[in-house]
Amino acid sequence: MVRGAKLDAIRTANKVPEVTLYFWLIKILSTTVGETAADLLSIRLGLGLTVTSLIMTIVFVMALVWQVRTDRYIPPLYWLTVVLVSIVGTLISDNLVDGMGISLVTTSVCFGICLVVAFTAWYATEHTLSIHTIITRRRELFYWLAILCTFALGTSVGDLLAERLELGYAQATFVFALSIAGVALLYYLLRLNAILCFWIAYVLTRPLGASIGDWLAKPVLADGLGLGTVTTSVIFLTLIAVLVAFLTVTKADRIAAAAAE
């Protein structure tokens, strides 16, 4: 009983940032790093998918435990966890497709089902999917489960369009960016449900970021710009660090406790 009480205890503040322009910028940058860093570790450094997946899963779990145990939103820790879950989500998809030979269509459908199940369980338990009320440990665990599913789903869908359907990385980037713009129009002009629009856009930013990463890092012969995974990862990690430092100092993305409750 005591343990259950602690699990559902109301926190003093929301554990996630406000949805601002900074949020979307860092989210897209994080998804790009998730794609390029996974390739860098498994291919460029020769660790292989299995070893890379094991190492990054352990690091991610450690960061997640630290994140969940805190009682407030801490920008560096939160965004570190997002970057790591992006890498792990990419590796999950890559292991199934490249390691086990499962088709991208199958993984996309399966991850989509997993996401629906996660949302269904979250809503059935908490009666909301709003990120403005991540004020209990249970809600936070549902939140990170949903995010992991969105990253794995986005990786498979992005690769499906860019590679399997031979759309190309640049064209896939345009398609996903246009899709996100369409969701924004539905929200601002037609007043579509804010929570629904948020999660649709959140899913779409994953393949958008992955397509951007592949477009920048892949060689010219493979429809890329040839920057390489090292250069692309360093550039985007630097941008993330700068933005997170700015938010840490200015506190421009904090959700007030009263509003959250």
DSSP per-residue string spanning 162-210: IIIS---HHHHHHHHHHHHHHHHHHHHTT---HHHHHHHHHHHHHHHHH
Residues 105, 216, 27, 56, CA torsion sign: positive
Q: Which amino acid is at 90?
A: T
For residues 94 and 189, give the distance between their C-alpha atoms in angstroms, rounded to a whole number.
38
Task: Write down the pLDDT at residue 222.
Answer: 67
Q: How confident is the chain (261 residues) per 10-residue block, as mean pLDDT?
A: 43 78 92 80 76 90 94 93 90 86 90 94 93 89 93 84 76 90 92 92 87 81 77 90 94 64 41
- pTM of the predicted structure, to 2 decimals: 0.86
Kindly report the backbone phi and psi dihedral angles of residue 102, in degrees, each rounded to the nearest multiple of 5, phi listed first: -80, 140
Task: Write down the pLDDT at residue 9.
Answer: 43
Contacts 24+ apart (CB under 8 A), 108-111: 108/153, 108/156, 108/157, 108/160, 111/149, 111/152, 111/153, 111/156
